[in-house]
Every structure is written in structure tokens, then in C-alpha cells.
């Protein structure tokens, strides 16, 4: 737009100077033609002066025609410059609108960036909290692992003790079974001995009864 104004001003000054020079030149020609006619002359000279006056009028008409033609050229040039100026103004307005839109876009992007930064800060806080929870969970897992290891050791100890107790139980059970077998054997032997004693007692009783009967029989005789 500034360039157009400069061009227009330059053209205006140039056109004005050119127009003035051209007009002055045409006027000078016309004046020179008029000045050639004398003020005091004879009838022949008066007729000649009248012809020269008509020639001067025609010169002025020619000057006016040239001025009108030059003015038309100037108007065309002015119209062309006005169109260029309008085009430049349009481009400038578009540039201003684009710049305004760019400013609005930058402002919106700045707001979005600030919002993103707030979200990032919030996520960082949440991440820090999550990391703390993870550390706590890892510590708890470590404690549970230690407890589990201790439990495994205790379980292994209990299994060893249980194995020893099972071995002792099996040994005691074997000894008990052996003693039961021995007891049953002794019980069988005892039963046999008791049966033998009863037989012997029965035999002894029978013998005693027989002896008693013999003694009674002898005493009667």
C-alpha cells in the first residue's frame, strides 16, 4: 500500500509537471501565433490579421483537443493506478485479516499450550504418585517375599520334623506290632500252658480220687 501511494504520488507530480509543461508549450505556440499579428494595419493587413486570428483560434482548439486527449490518457493511468491501489488495499486487508487470524490462532495455541502444560503437570504429579505407589508395592512385595521365604524355611523344617516323627511313628508302630505278635505268641503259649495245667490238674484229681477210693477199699478190708 505504501508502495502504491509512493507510485501514485510520483505519477501525480510527474503528470502535473508534464501537464504544465505540455500546456505551457501549447499556450506558447498559440501566443506566438497571435503575437505575430500587428495592432495597426491596413485593410489587407486586417484581413490577414483576421485570418491569423482564425488560425489562432484553430490553434487553441488544437491545444484543447490535445489537452483533452492528454487528460484522457491521464484518467486511464489514474484509473489503472486506482485499480492497482484497490488491489494492493485488498491484499493489505487480506494480510491484516490473515495476521489477525494468525494472532488469534497464536493466542488459541498459547491457551492450548498452557492447558497442555497444566495437563502435563497433573500427569507428572499422577506419575510421581504412581511411582510412589509402585515403590510401596515393591517394598510390600519384598516383605511378603521375605515372609514367604521364612515360611518356606519353616515349612521345610516342619516337613523334616514331620518326616522324623513319621519315622519314629513307623518305628514305634513296628515295635508295637512286634510286641503284639510276641504278646499273642505268649498268650497262645500261656493258653497252652493253662490247658496243660488243667489237664494235669484233672489227671491229678482223678489220680487222687482213685487213690482215695483204693485207700478206702483197703481200710475196709
148 occurs within a structural domain:
no
- 172-213 residue pLDDT tens: 999 999 999 998 999 888 889 888 888 888 888 888 888 888
182 occurs within a structural domain:
no
Residue of 8, 21, 17, 24 lying closest to 77 (CA atoms) = 8
| Domain ranges, residue 18 | 2-127
Average pLDDT rounded to a whole number, residues 2-22: 47
Q: What is the pTM of this model?
A: 0.36
Q: How many CB atoms lie within 10 A of CB 149?
A: 10
43 occurs within a structural domain:
yes
Residue 32 pLDDT class (50, 70, 90 cuts): very low
C-alpha cell at 48: 490577414
133 occurs within a structural domain:
no
181 occurs within a structural domain:
no
- 57-101 residue pLDDT tens: 667 778 778 888 888 888 898 899 999 988 998 888 888 888 888
The whole-number pLDDT of residue 50 equals 60
CA–chain centroid gap for 127, Å, is 15
**Structural domain count, the chain:** 1
Rounded to whole angstroms, what are the CA distances from 26 to 18, 36, 70, 73, 91?
Answer: 12, 16, 12, 17, 42
The whole-number pLDDT of residue 128 equals 92
Residue 143 pLDDT class (50, 70, 90 cuts): very high
Amino acid at each position: 500500500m505504501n508502495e502504491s501511494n509512493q507510485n501514485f504520488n510520483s505519477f501525480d507530480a510527474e503528470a502535473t509537471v508534464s501537464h504544465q509543461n505540455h500546456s505551457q508549450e501549447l499556450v506558447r505556440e498559440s501566443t506566438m501565433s497571435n503575437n505575430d499579428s500587428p495592432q495597426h494595419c491596413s485593410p489587407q493587413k486586417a484581413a490577414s490579421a483576421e485570418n491569423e486570428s482564425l488560425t489562432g483560434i484553430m490553434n487553441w482548439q488544437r491545444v484543447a483537443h490535445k489537452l483533452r486527449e492528454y487528460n484522457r490518457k491521464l484518467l486511464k493511468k489514474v484509473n489503472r493506478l486506482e485499480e492497482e491501489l484497490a488491489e494492493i488495499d485488498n491484499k493489505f486487508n487480506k494480510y491484516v485479516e490473515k495476521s489477525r487470524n494468525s494472532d488469534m490462532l497464536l493466542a488459541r495455541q498459547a491457551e492450548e499450550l498452557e492447558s497442555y502444560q497444566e495437563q502435563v503437570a497433573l500427569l507428572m504429579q499422577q506419575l510421581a504418585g504412581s511411582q510412589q505407589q509402585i515403590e510401596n508395592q515393591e517394598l510390600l512385595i519384598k516383605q511378603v517375599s521375605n515372609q514367604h521365604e521364612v515360611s518356606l524355611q519353616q515349612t521345610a523344617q516342619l516337613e523334616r520334623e514331620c518326616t522324623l516323627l513319621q519315622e519314629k511313628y513307623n518305628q514305634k508302630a513296628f515295635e508295637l506290632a512286634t510286641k503284639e505278635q510276641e504278646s499273642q505268641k505268649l498268650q497262645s503259649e500261656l493258653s497252652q500252658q493253662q490247658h496243660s495245667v488243667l489237664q494235669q490238674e484233672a489227671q491229678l484229681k482223678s489220680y487222687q480220687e482213685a487213690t482215695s477210693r483204693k485207700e478206702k477199699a483197703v481200710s475196709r478190708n
